Chains A and B, each alone.
Chain A
Amino acid sequence: MEPILSRNFNVPNAWKLSVAESRGAYETARKTLTSMKPDEITQVVTAANLRGLGGAGFPTGKKWQFLPKETTKPIYLVVNADEGEPGTFKDRYILERDPHQMIEGIIISAFAIRSHKAYIYIRGEYVEPFRRLQSAVDEAYAKNFLGKNIFGSGWDLDLVVHRGAGAYICGEETALLNSLEGGKGFPRLKPPFPAIVGLFGCPTIINNVETLACVPPILKNGAEWFSKLGSPGNGGTHLFSVSGHVKKPGVYELPMGTLLREIIEKHAGGLRDGRKLKAVIPGGISAKILTANEIDVKMDYDGLKAAGTMLGSAGVIVMDDTTCMVGALYLACKFFAHESCGQCSPCREGTGWAFKIVKRIYEGQGSVKDLDTLLKIASNMEGRTICVFADAAAWPIQSYITKFRSEFEEYIGRNVKLEMQNVK
């Protein structure tokens, strides 16, 4: 398979414009802006079956069509580069190694949705990726690929790179908008959806880094080509972040619908010698865990939904037989308790309460009754809050305890704390 998103990852200095241009960057944007109408672009993206690659998997073209047809307000394009889902690092590769493909995608997409102003919201800790991205944006401005009358098309587009400041919740698109506006990252009630009332109260489209990086190749090679690369209804390829107990952790670009077993055993080099697979988180820490017997599953939105979990951000965390599942749940609960924004009571109280109980179990002071309390807390968090963070916090609790119940009970029976004993 020809790589589409990662084709420049190993090209030295591909983040510099001269190198990127020698690899064909901005040719498609030039052609598109000078020969196509905005709605034609949206049609192509819709037909390509491109789905939002930040985690939700919403069809991108359909999202764009939610914008009001007539509006006196400015329309904004906001790029979600607030990568934060544990187990995920794919957007960092694009930002650091090939920012121009994403910027080109931004130019084409902004033109398609009739936006003259785009913001990239990049997570605060990504300092080096930010510097490269900012330098790429500056270079694009200098060549008039951004700014006034881009490519002589008459279209103006300004692009601002905005740094976050360390809050996982800002990856949720409406929290991101509040944060970008200068406030706390509190998610907003929907409706109204951002396409109607978004940034500064104006119609706004929020797309993920990788999603936008898919746009130039789609316009270059056509909707049918892209759609056929993936599985039915899930167009294209996807960057899978693989980490944990595998020989070759890293980012792998593979067709949508590739089997999870193939990703682990073939691309990531399999498990470390002498170890057996125990469990896999298929789509970032929020996704329900899969046992070793459940990895013959297609890695796309529909395949993982059918398996009772989700593709999410495609962050695959592999755990071998040395992993203590109580410890793994402790880590997940610690994360969610730390990152809850505190706006809704079921989440603010629930994540903290669940963490306290799991910590107690982990430290050898738990009782079997605690497991049922945890499941009850989880079901009282699910679907009862403004955003899906609380659901995401509930899913590890439910899936780890349900699928590994006997291990939890045995651990509780021993009354001793086990250390995470794995050493790389």
Chain B
Amino acid sequence: MSEFLLKSLDAEAERILSKYDQKKAATLPLLHLAQDKVGYVTPEVEAWVSKWTEIPVVHVREVVMFYSMYHKKPAGRHHIRFCTTTTCALLGGDKILNHLKKKIGIDNGGVSADGKFSLEEAECLCACEMAPMMQVGDEYHGDLTEKKVDEIIDVISRSPQAAEKS
């Protein structure tokens, strides 16, 4: 299935490649592009990136493994990165994270049964002024309290549209 999805990205892939002085440099943007479409980095995605960049698949895989943002397995439709570094933890992040885990019923690295949420305990997302904070999909949410976490999750859970794409 991902092969069909990837085919639809060929024009965009060509546009990306044209910006770089070397094809290999397009590895990260092509992986982002494909992951956004397919949901995670499948072997087909690796092969597709390898085809465009003309570097061996094994090197593409090495890159995928190195970076935390590439999903090595299916993620939830709303991937949550909860900051667990110093400032967020100093301001009670731990307690709120535990609350979030109960709320969506998963632990670090998990995906909820309905496929809606996945959770990653992240290192500093550089938004310490709004600590404790988390990123849901693309968006940053700060000054978190248990109540605020409930609201954010409830809004997403209720919205059928948002459930399809974060």
Q: Does B94 contact A (CB under 8 A)?
A: yes
Q: Which residues of chain A are within 8 angstroms of B95 by Cβ–Cβ distance?
A: 419, 423
Q: Whole-angstrom distance between the alpha carbons of A167 and B63 in the complex?
A: 11
Interchain CB contact (< 8 A) of B126 among A84, A117, A185, A327 = A84
Is there a chain B Cβ closer than 8 Å to A92's Cβ?
yes
Whole-angstrom distance between the alpha carbons of A332 and B92 in the complex?
Answer: 16
Q: Which of A165, A167, A422 contacts B90 (CB 8 A)?
A: A422
Q: Does B19 contact A317, Cβ atoms closer than 8 Å?
A: no
Q: Judge whether B85 and A331 touch: CB under 8 Å.
A: yes
Structural contact, B138 and A163, CB atoms closer than 8 A:
no
Say whether B135 faces chain A, with CB atoms less than 8 Å apart: yes
CA A180 to CA B160, docked complex, whole Å: 38
B53, B86, B130: residue with the most chain A Cβ atoms closer than 10 Å:
B86
A330's nearest neighbour on chain B, judged by CB, is: B89
Which of the candidate stretches B5-13, B26-34, B104-112 sits at the interface with the other chain? Answer: B26-34
| Interchain CB contact (< 8 A) of A125 among B69, B92, B130 | B69
B-facing mask of A235-262, CB < 8 A → 1, else 0?
A: 0000001111100011100000000000
A386 at the interface (CB under 8 A from B): no
B126, A92: Cβ atoms under 8 Å? yes
Known: A87-B128, A166-B67. A335 touches B140 (CB 8 A): no
Bound complex: CA A407 to CA B92 (Å): 21
Contacts of A160 in B (CB 8 A): 19-20
CA A334 to CA B94, docked complex, whole Å = 14
User: Per-residue 0/1 for A311-347: is the Cβ within 8 Å of any B Cβ (1 yes, 0 no)?
Assistant: 0000101010001000110011011001101000000
Contact (A86, B87) CB under 8 Å given A162-B29, A249-B129: yes
Q: Contacting B139 at CB < 8 Å: which of A128, A164, A245, A335?
A: A128
Closest chain B CB from A81 CB (angstroms): 11
Number of interface residues of B (CB under 8 A): 51
In the assembled complex, how far is the CB of residue B65 from the closest CB belonging to chain A, in whole angstroms? 8
Closest chain A CB from B22 CB (angstroms): 6
Give the distance in Å from the alpha carbon of A88 to the alpha carbon of B127 in the complex: 7
Q: With both chains docked as a complex, state the minimum distance between the C-beta of A363 and any C-beta of chain B, in angstroms.
A: 14
Q: Quote the shortest CB–CB distance from B57 to chain A (angstroms).
A: 14
Find chain A residues with CB under 8 A from B128 CB.
86-89, 241, 243-244, 249, 315, 317
Please tell me if the beta carbons of A83 and B126 are within 8 angstroms of each other in the complex. yes
Q: Which residues of A contact B126 (CB under 8 A)?
A: 83-86, 88-89, 91-92, 123, 125-126
Residues of chain B with a CB closer than 8 A to A87's CB:
86-87, 124, 128
Q: Which of B28, B62, B89 contacts A165 (CB 8 A)?
A: B28
Choose from A123, A125, A182, A285 the contact partner of B24 (Cβ within 8 Å): A182
Please report the C-alpha to C-alpha distance between residue A380 and residue B135 in the assembled complex, in whole angstroms.
Answer: 36
Is A266's CB within 8 Å of the partner chain B? Answer: no
Q: How far is the CA of A338 from the CA of B92 in the complex (A)?
A: 21
- Chain A proximity mask over B32-74: 1 for CB below 8 Å, otherwise 0: 1000000000000000000001010001001100111110000
Interface centre among B21, B27, B53, B145 (most CB of A within 10 A): B21
- A124 on interface, CB distance cutoff 8 Å: yes
Are A167 and B85 touching (Cβ within 8 A)?
no
Q: A242: which B residues are within 8 A, CB to CB?
A: 129
Q: Check B90 against A182 for contact (C-beta < 8 Å).
A: no
In the complex the two chains form, what is the Cα distance from A92 to B127 in whole Å? 8
From the candidates B31, B63, B124, name the one contacting A86 in the complex (CB within 8 A).
Answer: B124
Q: Shortest beta-carbon distance, A141 to chain B, in Å?
A: 12
Q: Which residues of A contact B3 (CB under 8 A)?
A: none
In Å, the complex CA distance between A84 and B62 comes to 22
**A80 vs B93: C-alpha distance in the bound complex, in angstroms?**
29
B78 at interface by CB-CB < 8 Å: no
Contact of B129 among A168, A200, A241, A328 (CB under 8 A): A241
B87 to A, closest residue via Cβ:
A243
Q: Least Cβ distance of A298 to chain B in Å?
A: 23
Could you tell me if A167 and B94 are in contact, using CB atoms closer than 8 angstroms? no
| Residues of B with C-beta under 8 A to A319 | 90
Q: Which residues of A, 67-97, contact B by the 8 Å Cβ criterion?
A: 74, 83-89, 91-92
Q: Is the CB of B123 within 8 A of A86?
A: yes
Q: Across chains A and B, which 8 residue pairs bring their CB atoms closest together, nearest first?
A: A182-B27, A243-B128, A165-B67, A166-B68, A166-B69, A127-B138, A86-B124, A182-B24
Beyond known contacts A244-B131, A323-B90: 20 more, CB 8 A cutoff:
A85-B124, A89-B127, A123-B126, A125-B135, A127-B138, A163-B28, A167-B67, A180-B25, A184-B66, A185-B66, A200-B25, A243-B87, A249-B128, A332-B86, A335-B85, A339-B123, A341-B66, A420-B89, A420-B92, A423-B95
26 contacts between A and B (CB under 8 A): A86-B126, A91-B126, A125-B122, A126-B126, A128-B138, A158-B19, A160-B19, A162-B28, A163-B32, A165-B68, A165-B70, A166-B69, A181-B24, A182-B24, A182-B26, A182-B63, A184-B66, A185-B67, A242-B129, A244-B86, A244-B90, A244-B91, A245-B91, A251-B129, A332-B86, A334-B85
